[in-house]
Chains A and B, each alone.
Chain A
Amino acid sequence: MRRTTTRATAVVATVLATGLLTGCAEELPTPKPEAPVAAAVVTQSQEREILDKVAGVVGEVTKAKDAEKLEPRLSGPALDIRETQLKVADARGDTEPLTDLTMEMQQVILPSDQEWPRSSFAITVQPKDLTTPVLMSFDQATARDQYKLWGWVRLLPGVTMPQFAEAELGSPAVPPDDESLKVTPTDAIKQYASALTVDKDSKYADSFADDDLRQFFRDYGKLQVDAINKEECRGAFKVEYEPTKDPVKAVRTADGGALVMAAMISQETITAREEGCEIGPPTKTTQALWGDTDVTNVVEVNYKDMVAMYVPPKDSDDEISLVGYEHVPSSVSNG
Chain B
Amino acid sequence: MVQRFLAILLILAGLGGIGFGVATATVLRESDTVVATATPSGDGTMVVTEPGVLGLVDDQVTVRATVPEGQKVTLALGSDVDVLGWVGDDPFDSVTGLSSWETLSVAPGTAAAPEEEAAEGEETDEAPAEKPSTGPDPAGSDMWISEVSGETTVSMRWTEQPGRVVLLAAGVGKNAEAPTLELTWPRQASTPYLWPGVLGGALLLILGVFMAIGARRSAKRSAGKGRSPSAVRTRQPDPDLPRRDAAFGIDGEGSSPAGHEPAVGFPPALGDPAEGGTAVYPPVRPELPGRDRPELRPVQSPVQSPVQSPMPRPEPDLTEPEHTRSWGAPAPFGGAAPITPPPVPEQAPEPVAAPVASVRGIRRRRGQAPGAAPAAGAQPPAQRTPFGGTAPEQGPAPSETPSAAQADQADPAASAASGRPMTRRELRMREQAQRRAATGAMPAVPAAEPEPEPEAEQPQTPSSRAAAWRQTWGVTGNDGGN
Q: Could you tell me which A residues sit within 8 Å of B by CB distance?
A: 1, 3-5, 7-8, 11-12, 14-16, 18-19, 22-23, 25-26, 28-34, 36, 41-42, 46, 49-50, 53, 114-117, 140-147
Contact = CB atoms under 8 A, between A and B. Distances in A.
Interface string B1-32: 01100100010010001000100100000000
B164 A28 contact: no
Contact of A115 (B117, B162, B327): B117
Given A7-B355, A29-B98, A144-B125, A36 B136 contact: no
B252 interface: no
B246 interface: no
B451 interface: no
B192 A141 contact: no
A110 to B, nearest CB: 12
Contact of A142 (B81, B118, B466): B118
| Interface range, B side | 35 or more
B85 interface: yes
A26 B354 CA distance: 39
Interface string B170-214: 000000000000000000001011001101110110010000000
Contact of B86 (A31, A114, A143): A143
A143 B203 contact: no
The 7 nearest A-B residue pairs measured at CB: A142-B121, A31-B52, A15-B200, A33-B51, A33-B52, A143-B85, A22-B192
A1 B193 CA distance: 29
Contacts of B143: 42, 46, 143
B327 A1 contact: yes
A29 B24 CA distance: 23
A33 B164 contact: yes
Contact of B192 (A23, A28, A29): A23
B429 interface: no
Contacts of B86: 143-144
A29 B114 CA distance: 30
A144 B121 contact: yes
Given A4-B473, A15-B199, 16 more contacts: A4-B6, A12-B200, A15-B17, A22-B190, A22-B193, A28-B99, A29-B98, A31-B51, A32-B52, A114-B81, A115-B114, A116-B118, A142-B117, A144-B138, A146-B142, A147-B142
A142 B101 CA distance: 38
A19 B118 contact: no
B196 A15 contact: yes
B309 interface: no
Nearest to B58: A29
B299 interface: no
Contact of B142 (A16, A22, A28, A50): A50
Contact of A143 (B100, B113, B118, B145): B118
A46 B193 CA distance: 48
Contact of B121 (A31, A33, A41, A143): A143
B98 A28 contact: yes
Interface of A is mostly: loop
A34 B192 contact: no
B304 to A, nearest CB: 26
Contacts, number: 136
Contact of B56 (A11, A25, A31, A143): A31
A8 B206 CA distance: 12
B426 interface: no
B101 to A, nearest CB: 7
26 contacts: A1-B2, A4-B355, A7-B355, A8-B6, A19-B200, A28-B98, A28-B100, A28-B101, A30-B56, A31-B55, A33-B80, A34-B51, A34-B162, A34-B163, A41-B81, A46-B145, A53-B142, A114-B81, A115-B114, A115-B117, A116-B114, A144-B118, A144-B122, A144-B125, A144-B126, A145-B125
Contacts of A29: 56-57, 97-98
Interface string B361-374: 00000000000000
Contacts of B287: none
Contacts of A114: 81, 85, 113-114
Contact of A41 (B21, B79, B117, B192): B79
Given A31-B96, A116-B114, A143 B82 contact: yes
A202 to B, nearest CB: 36
A45 to B, nearest CB: 9
B204 A19 contact: no
Nearest to A117: B117
Contact of B120 (A1, A32, A36, A142): A142
B377 interface: no
B53 interface: yes
B363 to A, nearest CB: 16
A49 B142 contact: yes
A34 B55 CA distance: 11
Contacts of A49: 142
Contacts of B114: 114-116
A116 B97 CA distance: 29
A36 B164 contact: yes
B439 interface: no
